[in-house]
A and B are shown apart, each in its own frame.
Chain A
């Protein structure tokens, strides 16, 4: 576990994409499966915090999800304003979702922070029966300088690897320092993720 009074660097990452592409399920796969010792089990209803050791330094990453809010078009610029990295998700089984992903990338390049690091994530790979090689997408990624990952949230293939690899590619200078202690004060705003089994240990203070 992380020690209490250690300063960490917090970095903001946004997950964007068309609706019902699997953004929230990707994040849930990350949060439920134990892939790192430092992983925290709480979700603040809208985003997840997890810390990765990069060169023996704790590096906290805040992943934002716009789940349920895709229709609020005028709200999305607020999400990607202070972000350092962005993951654009699209569905392999639907071609239309790739076009929306292209629009997202163009908008991010025009209007967002020019130092933003963008990744393309091809989700739901288990639905492809014949293993097609994603040639078009890879060409598009090479032209625009994007990272590309192949995942499936259902089977859990390549999900954790994507997040770890993406966090290593982020610039280490940017972000803001925080104390780890002040996070998640109140129970009301948090929703705990457990599979039915809940720890009912009461802590007594004073």
Chain B
């Protein structure tokens, strides 16, 4: 029996190890493929700037077309598409224009330049017609009956069809305009941010710049909403409302109806849609349910959810942000993992991903009434307490990683590794982990190792000084607060260090009374408290775009570390009191 058990154990261990190796190999192959694709995408994105330049010229041509096409050729009844014809005409139109221009200027310019121009214009055409192409290529669901289609087409008069075509044309023009407006407003935002960074030392200009940035962002959001509505109208005209597979809708406007048969609702309400009809007349109003009431409502005030077409288009437009390539050596033993072999930038990325998951769960109500400190209210603030415990574990983990090395050279190397690691954390604006690492380097068991800190290179020593200035406690963490604000102004993602904000909240809670003499809630206190809380939570919407690696994520779920007293004893072992430098080597 013993032999059998032994054999079975051996077998399982071997198979497990082989399996692990295989899975890692496969994963790496997949990742390499992904990176190749990513690099290809990078190459494509550089070409987009040329498209933007040529877009204005193209728009002028389209306006000319618009003037010509009031006498558009009528479409055949078989359903050859209006847009295909339009495309052909456009291409022929542009080519003709190019030819005429070329003929006029052929004596002056060389042939190579003209060819380049042609190619670039063709490319721009292709890029521009992506939107239209996706809408035309959209396949209807199988349940969509063909008979109804024919009936509808017959029901529509020719005037209506022409009107639809003109609507499509105009909407496309409007879409182009919105894209240009968006680009302009992004430029305005960038300029204002630069202004803010220039004048950051003076109070008034900073406030003004921040106000302008807020206005610019609001207007850009409005343009995006307008764009969505335009796309919705396009889909509406092409396929009717039934092409969109959805049951729920969000209200864009607030509507108060006096009739009993109609529903009244506010902004951002969810409506359960029962029946959808085609057309914009009052007869064809939709039927839906909200708060237990059923009735009609006008679909203009509503935006459908889960519409496949719109989501696909928007996802592909918004995927401009690249995710960086992970740095991992190809030969690594995942079973017995030594973190110091992996590049410190990659470790910093993985920790920020893990930390952001914790930070994302923080809720508004946890910060009220100092509930993270009181034993009665521990259940109210579980996420804050979990974040604090992780903070302590990280700093103790850093200490153990440094003190784990027996030789002096290895310890110095580990200290340099963690300083670089902290610099990367600063780059990602992950202030919570940065504070933990710097406090670990400044803690008692590490601070008394004078020989190891003497062996560090001068550069890393200066880096440590800079980090110490940033997180210095003078003037109520002025430098840290300024760095956090800068990250917000530049639109970067960040994780704030909670502890400082928690002290602000305790003082605010203690200084002013919650009730006034009348018995009302004091409005001043509520405003200041909400400001202080929002300064913590306003970075929750900005995700990091790093690629998570499963093995490292598992490793950082719980930091393996010793406790503070054991760490102090260990440091006494490594460098006893009054030891000379010769004896350590």
Contacts and interface: CB of A to CB of B under 8 A. Distances in A.
B388 A72 contact: yes
Contacts of A68: 370, 372-373, 499, 502-503, 505-506
A191 interface: yes
A71 B503 contact: no
Given A68-B370, A68-B499, A196-B524, 6 more contacts: A24-B506, A46-B476, A46-B507, A47-B476, A79-B473, A189-B478
Contact of A71 (B388, B442, B516): B388
Contact of A187 (B203, B373, B391): B203
Interface stretch (B61-69, B237-245, B432-440): B432-440
B180 interface: no
Interface string B506-526: 111011100010000010100
A69 B508 contact: no
B581 interface: no
Q: Which of A20, A78, A183 has the most CB of B within 10 A?
A: A78
B203 A74 contact: no
Contacts of A73: 392, 564
13 contacts: A28-B511, A43-B507, A46-B476, A47-B476, A68-B506, A72-B391, A74-B439, A77-B439, A189-B475, A191-B504, A191-B508, A191-B528, A193-B511
Contact of A44 (B396, B476, B512, B528): B476
A79 B435 CA distance: 13
Contacts of B473: 46, 64, 78-79
A190 B476 CA distance: 8
A189 B391 contact: no
A189 to B, nearest CB: 5
A107 to B, nearest CB: 9
A77 B481 CA distance: 21
A74 B395 contact: yes
A40 interface: no
B500 A46 contact: yes
A21 to B, nearest CB: 11
Contact of B373 (A19, A46, A183, A196): A19
Given A68-B373, A71-B373, A75-B435, A46 B503 contact: yes
A188 B440 CA distance: 30
Contacts of A44: 475-476
A25 interface: yes
Contacts of A183: 475
Q: Which of B503, B507, B508 has the most CB of A within 10 A?
A: B507
A45 B507 contact: yes
B385 interface: yes
Interface in B286-309: none
Interface in A164-190: 183-184, 186-190
Contacts of B264: none
Given A24-B507, A74-B395, A69 B476 contact: no
A19 B504 CA distance: 16
Nearest to B511: A193
A70 interface: yes
Q: Which of A19, A68, A73 has the most CB of B within 10 A?
A: A68
Interface residues of A, number: 37
Nearest to B440: A74
Given A68-B503, A75-B499, A111-B444, A46 B392 contact: no
A81 B444 CA distance: 10
A74 B203 CA distance: 35
B499 A74 contact: no
A194 to B, nearest CB: 9
Contact of A74 (B443, B507, B522): B443
Interface string A127-169: 0000000000000000000000000000000000000000000
B477 interface: yes
A65 interface: yes
B122 interface: no
A95 to B, nearest CB: 16
Contacts of B492: none
A72 to B, nearest CB: 5
Interface string A29-53: 0000000000000011111000000
B392 A28 contact: no
A74 B503 contact: no
Contacts of A78: 439, 442, 473
Given A64-B473, A189-B476, A74 B510 contact: no
Interface in B551-582: 564
Interface secondary structure of B, over-half rule: helix
B407 interface: no
A67 interface: yes
B506 A74 contact: no
Contacts of B504: 45-46, 191
B370 A71 contact: no
A19 B203 CA distance: 37
Contacts of A190: 476
Interface in B386-427: 388-389, 391-392, 395-396
Contacts of A47: 476
Contacts of A188: 481
B138 to A, nearest CB: 52
B374 interface: yes
A191 B499 contact: no
Contacts of A77: 439, 442-444, 447
B81 to A, nearest CB: 59
A196 B511 CA distance: 10
Contacts of B478: 186, 189
Contacts of A75: 435, 439, 499
B439 A186 contact: no
A196 B524 CA distance: 9
Contacts of A81: 442
A54 B507 CA distance: 29
Interface in A75-127: 75, 77-79, 81, 111
Contacts of A186: 203, 478
Contacts of A65: 503
A69 to B, nearest CB: 5
Contacts of A72: 388, 391-392, 499
Interface string B426-459: 0000000001100110111001000000000000
Nearest to A193: B511
A81 B443 CA distance: 10
A42 B372 CA distance: 26
A184 B447 CA distance: 31
Nearest to B500: A46
Contacts of B440: 74
Contacts of B564: 73-74
B82 to A, nearest CB: 58
Interface string B85-97: 0000000000000
A61 to B, nearest CB: 15
Nearest to B388: A71
